[in-house]
Chain A
């Protein structure tokens, strides 16, 4: 993407005012998105994103600049204007010899995405539409999208790093809307992977279409969820968004380093029930949130965050490493060249326990069974989190009873993790997009079925 001599000269310009580190992140990304509404292909979009981000560090002071114009002249100008913000640094830093390193690719990509797959993808989407529509007469509308992305990156820095990687993403999203009189409810299923077109070919599309329709149909006929503090069973897979919000964001060095996370200074302390072991693993082959190298060029790792309830580690990027005096955990990520990297999650999950789903349900006299989760958010400073349940049922006398809609779960991270009193043996991962300071990123959220002994459920029914 960029010549080595150009990189060298740009990094040199970035150090002119005495910065102690400079980095280039160049990106050339093409993406395609097909959208089908009610079985008709309504839109097909293609785009090419291209740009270069330059970061200059002096101690804890970070300057970030980006541009779409990658001519040498403009890159040097951009580096100089970034460097101009650094003043009073000790002169004398210099660029080390750039050592081009080869990235070990852990992810098999079968078929690279390109526009020749459009027609085949449309056939697959039409299958999703037919299955979703045939599921129940109350299905009134479907919206299906298929997306692919091919991201070429180059990262170089003044420590001598020069590395390139190619990242491939493929995802299908199926949304079904059920109508019952004046009521409308939607259901969604969105499988995705760090993989090529072969992912869609091997996917059980019918199963995902039926899932989206099942949620919509069940919820349109459901009554309102109760309000108050109840035991909550959260099913496996994307249910791991609970951990992602309740705890994961609070373990990112972006929040921990300045001391604005409730988890700051708690390594070695008990922060969760002894049943909880939680991991962030960027290395899982072909997983939606995996990377060979993070967006600072560091190899991704398997990071144990909590082991048997004890806090073991944080998610740390380069700035976090400087501020905390701890090594990077390969967790520096950014949506694109338009964002400075920040510590972010990859594939975060709670490890398997020993209970079965059936045992957990049978052991619950009255509570909520959250079968399918929506998204959520957290304030890391207060650890207040919230998330929406897509599909929920009442548990009564140890059995799944009637469905309920509109259940929102809220709580405080440490409090909620301490109240996990049963952990299943059926770990699965779900795919989501995580939005934060460095943009919107693919992440996996995973867990086995778990039970929280008490959570605040926000429904509409006074019970």
Chain B
């Protein structure tokens, strides 16, 4: 059954079953990816899949269900399950479907030709990056993974109130991950990697730059050792700062606030960060991977400042949280794929960049640690309390210069305190996902080492 047919039968049978309003959220994607190892193709994946989430109002409550199979049997499954799921719900805020916004911005995120990139070109690219990396430095022991891929996806939301939103995304990427050793017999191994992407054409990706950056990331860690346990000024390079911000991004969700999982509860209008901090969610940026014209409920998206000069202006809302809080909907409804509920999430969340380059920030640091990698974020951070204690890799800075690599350390602190203690903000925003930070320098954090 194709999706239009499926929707027609589903809604007709749903009406018979007593659903008064119904909606489908359909997503599907295709991708081709290739990775090479030691001059040979190691893995080659060609995938295509999709799925559909149904929600419907029955007995005044919204029931949800999902399927990856579009057949008659699944229609019965979706309606039965959504009905029995609605029946057991106890939340008192009724959800309702949305007929659509009056106006949507146009956001171009699709290149129809991208998925047609010849597989041979992807294979050649992966082989070329491996070759470049191996030739760039004799200390590269192995290229563990050199990979290239293209993908495209689409989302369709359609309901009985007349909503009909459709979007397509495409992207290409190239990545490398290498192992380095001082010599063949050396005991110490270090790793490093890099990746880049294009939303337009695979040809736009500078393969040599990806390979050489991956090499540099690895070899620069050779000879790393720990530092004395102490408090140090810390510079989080943009990628490390990004992973930290991502771990705490849920504190801006009105849903987290409402359920008591965010310390920002009750702080609207207050100074919650240093006056140098502004945090923005902008789904309408050009050439950024997570840009989109509508959210998971079909509301038209827009740019919002969450924190301006340190002051908390708004939380991120969907229709339900906005109504409950008596606030404006920021169109941040999100679904974790087609299986999930409608929740709240950011689109392109970022800390507004400053003026200094990372090199200048390092130069102005008399003694400190530049952190380039944080590990164990899923376990070592607590979004509720804001605390973090994370294994880290980086470099020791003395008198404004990097003097040696550092490993076997942890860095600990609190995200909310951190927002109030940022001394310098880099000018190096790099949009790679839905949450991004420039490099950040904080005056002091606890470091555990020797």
Q: Do A and B bind each other?
A: yes
Task: List residues of chain A with CB under 8 Å of any chain B CB.
Answer: 30, 32, 34, 37-38, 40-51, 60-68, 78, 81-82, 85, 115, 118-119, 122, 140-141, 143, 177, 182-186, 224-225, 227-229, 258-260, 262, 338, 340, 374-377, 379, 381-382, 384-388, 405-408, 410-412, 456-462
User: Do B40 and A60 touch across chains, with their CB atoms under 8 A apart?
Assistant: yes
Contact assessment for A44 and B389 in the assembled complex, using a CB-CB cutoff below 8 Å: no
Is the pair A406, B68 in contact by a Cβ cutoff of 8 Å? no
Contact A45 B84 (CB under 8 A): no
Query: Are B379 and A376 neighbours in the complex by a CB distance under 8 Å?
Result: yes
Q: In the docked arrangement, what's the CA distance between A119 and B340, Å?
A: 21
Top 5 A-B pairs ranked by shortest CB distance?
A458-B410, A227-B448, A386-B391, A375-B379, A46-B81
Considering the chains assembled together, what is the distance between the CA atoms of A30 and B42 in angstroms? Answer: 33
Instruction: Decide: A63 near B68, CB < 8 A? Known: A227-B447, A405-B387, A456-B448.
Output: no
- Pick the interface stretch among B6-14, B45-53, B242-250, B289-297: B45-53
B287 at the interface (CB under 8 A from A): no
CA A50 to CA B339, docked complex, whole Å:
13
Q: B67, B90, B376, B411: which contacts A50 (Cβ < 8 A)?
A: B67
Is A458 a contact partner of B411 (Cβ separation < 8 A)? yes
Q: Is B450 interfacial (CB-CB < 8 Å)? A: yes
Residue pairs across A and B with Cβ atoms less than 8 A apart, 7 shown, are A41-B89, A44-B86, A49-B68, A85-B44, A258-B38, A410-B408, A462-B446
The majority secondary structure among interface residues of chain A is strand
- B409 / chain A contacts, CB cutoff of 8 Å: 410, 456, 458
Partner of A381, one of B191, B229, B230: B191
The answer, yes or no, to whether B260 is at the interface (CB within 8 Å) is: yes
B144 within 8 A of A: yes
List chain B residues, Cβ under 8 A from A44. Answer: 63-64, 84-86, 88-89
| Residues B446 and A45 in contact, CB atoms below 8 Å apart | no
- Are B387's CB and A60's CB within 8 A? no
Instruction: Please judge, given known A-B contacts A41-B90, A85-B119, whether A47 and B45 are in contact too, CB under 8 Å.
Output: no
**Alpha-carbon distance between A34 and B376 when the two chains are bound, in angstroms:** 28
Is the pair B80, A227 in contact by a Cβ cutoff of 8 Å?
no
Contact residue among A60, A67, A225, A375 (Cβ-Cβ distance under 8 Å from B48)? A67
Structural contact, A47 and B84, CB atoms closer than 8 A: no
Complex Cα distance, B450 from A229, in Å, reads 6
Given contacts A42-B91, A185-B385, A228-B229, contact A388 B376 (CB under 8 A): yes
Q: How many Å lie between the Cα of A402 and that of B81 in the bound state? A: 49
Query: Which one of B47, B144, B411 lies within 8 Å of A65 (CB-CB)?
Result: B47
Q: Given that A85-B119, A122-B88 are contacting pairs, would A60 and B42 also be in contact in the complex, using a CB cutoff of 8 Å?
A: yes
**Interface contact B47-A66, CB-CB below 8 Å:** yes
Chain B residues within 8 Å of A340, by CB: 43, 45
- Is B412 within 8 A of A262, CB to CB? no
**B49 and A374 contact, CB distance less than 8 A:** no
Q: Do B378 and A377 touch (CB < 8 A)?
A: yes
How far apart are the CA atoms of A459 and B409 in the complex, in Å?
11
Closest to A56 in B: B44
Give chain B nearest CB distance to A119 CB in angstroms.
6
Kindly list chain A residues whose C-beta atoms are within 8 Å of the C-beta of B261.
141, 177
**Beta-carbon contact of A40 and B90 below 8 Å:** yes
Contacts of B420 in A (CB 8 A): none
Q: Across the interface, name the chain A residue whose C-beta is closest to B34.
A: A85
In the complex, A119 Cα to B89 Cα: how many Å? 10
Interface size class of chain B, counting residues whose CB lies under 8 Å from the partner chain: 35 or more
**A456/B341 contact (C-beta < 8 A), A48-B74, A260-B179 known:** no
How many Å lie between the Cα of A462 and that of B50 in the bound state?
A: 52
Q: Is the CB of A458 within 8 A of B391?
A: yes
Chain B residues lying within 8 Å of A183, measured Cβ to Cβ, are 385
Q: What 0/1 pattern do residues 113 to 150 of B give for CB contact below 8 A with A? A: 00000010000000000000000000000101000000
Q: How far is the CA of A47 from the CA of B338 in the complex (A)?
A: 10
Contact of B69 among A50, A81, A459 (CB under 8 A): A50
A388 to B379, CA, bound (A): 6
Q: Which residue of A lies closest to B67 (CB)?
A: A48
Closest chain A residue, CB of each to CB of B33? A64
Q: How far is the CB of B146 from chain A (nearest CB, A)?
A: 12
Is B421 interfacial (CB-CB < 8 Å)? no
Residues in B lying within 8 Å of A, measured CB to CB: 37-38, 40-51, 63-69, 74, 77, 80-82, 84-86, 88-91, 119, 142, 144, 179, 188-191, 226, 229-231, 259-261, 263, 339-341, 375-376, 378-380, 382, 384-385, 387, 389-391, 407-413, 446-450
Cross-interface CB contact of A456 among B50, B64, B69, B410, cutoff 8 Å: B410
B448 touches A457 (CB 8 A): yes
Determine the residue in chain A with the shortest Cβ distance to B142: A260
Indicate if the CB atoms of B68 and A51 lie closer than 8 Å: yes
Q: B65 touching A460 by the CB < 8 A rule?
A: no
Q: Shortest distance in angstroms between B377's beta carbon and chain A's nearest beta carbon? A: 8
Question: Do the beta carbons of B382 and A45 come within 8 Å of each other?
Answer: no
Tell which of A46, A66, A386 touches B49, judged by Cβ atoms closer than 8 Å: A66
Quick check: B407 and A384 within 8 Å, CB to CB?
yes
Instruction: Provide the residues of chain B in CB contact with A379, threshold 8 Å.
Output: 191, 375
The distance in angstroms between the C-alpha atoms of A68 and B51, with both chains bound, is 8
* Set of chain B residues within 8 Å of A186, measured between Cβ atoms: 382, 384-385
Q: Are B387 and A228 in contact (CB under 8 A)?
A: no
Give Cα A20–Cα B230 distance, bound, in whole angstroms: 58
9 more A-B contacts (CB under 8 A) besides A48-B69, A78-B48, A377-B378? A48-B66, A68-B68, A184-B385, A185-B384, A338-B47, A375-B376, A382-B189, A384-B408, A458-B391
Interface centre among B80, B191, B387, B410 (most CB of A within 10 A): B410
CA distance A188 to B230 in the complex (A): 31
In the complex, the answer to whether B46 meets A65 with C-beta atoms within 8 Å is: yes
Residues in B whose Cβ lies below 8 Å from that of A405:
387
Chain B residue contacts of A140, Cβ below 8 A: 260
CB-CB < 8 A to A40: which residues of B? 90-91
Question: Which residues of chain A come closer than 8 Å to B69, judged between CB atoms?
Answer: 48, 50, 68
List A contacts of B389 (CB < 8 A).
Answer: 225, 388, 406-408, 458-460
CB closest residue in chain A, given B378? A375
Q: What residues on B are CB-neighbors of A406 within 8 Å?
A: 387, 389, 412
Inter-subunit contact B376/A376 (CB<8 Å)? yes
Q: Please tell me if the beta carbons of B46 and A228 are within 8 angstroms of each other in the complex.
A: no
A418 to B223, CA, bound (A): 23
Is B46 touching A462 in the complex (CB atoms < 8 A)? Answer: no
Q: Which residues of B contact A185 (CB under 8 A)?
A: 382, 384-385
CA distance A119 to B85 in the complex (A): 10
B88→A462 contact, CB < 8 A: no
With contact pairs A68-B50, A338-B47 given, residues A462 and B65 touching in the complex (Cβ less than 8 Å) = no
Docked-complex contact B412 and A460, CB < 8 angstroms: yes
- Contact A141–B260 (Cβ < 8 Å): yes
CA distance A85 to B35 in the complex (A): 13
* CB neighbours of A225 from chain B (8 A): 389
In contact, B412 and A456 (Cβ under 8 angstroms): no
Most buried by B among A46, A62, A186, A260: A46
Is A381 within 8 A of B189, CB to CB? yes
- Say whether A458 contacts B448, CB under 8 Å: yes
Which of A50, A67, A410, A461 contacts B391 (CB under 8 A)? A410
Q: Report A263 CB to chain B, min CB distance, Å.
A: 12
Query: Would you give the shortest CB distance from B89 to chain A, in whole angstroms?
Result: 6
Measured in the bound complex, the distance between the Cα atoms of B178 and A258 in whole Å is: 12
Whose C-beta in chain B lies nearest to the C-beta of A457? B448
Q: Whole-angstrom distance from the CB of B373 to the nearest CB of chain A?
A: 9
Smallest beta-carbon distance A126→chain B, Å = 10
Cα–Cα, bound, A64→B31 (Å): 12
In the bound complex, residues from chain B placing their C-beta under 8 Å from that of A63 are 43-46
| Inter-subunit contact A408/B376 (CB<8 Å) | yes
**Is B410 touching A408 in the complex (CB atoms < 8 A)?**
yes
Inter-chain contacts of B41 with A (CB < 8 A): 61, 85
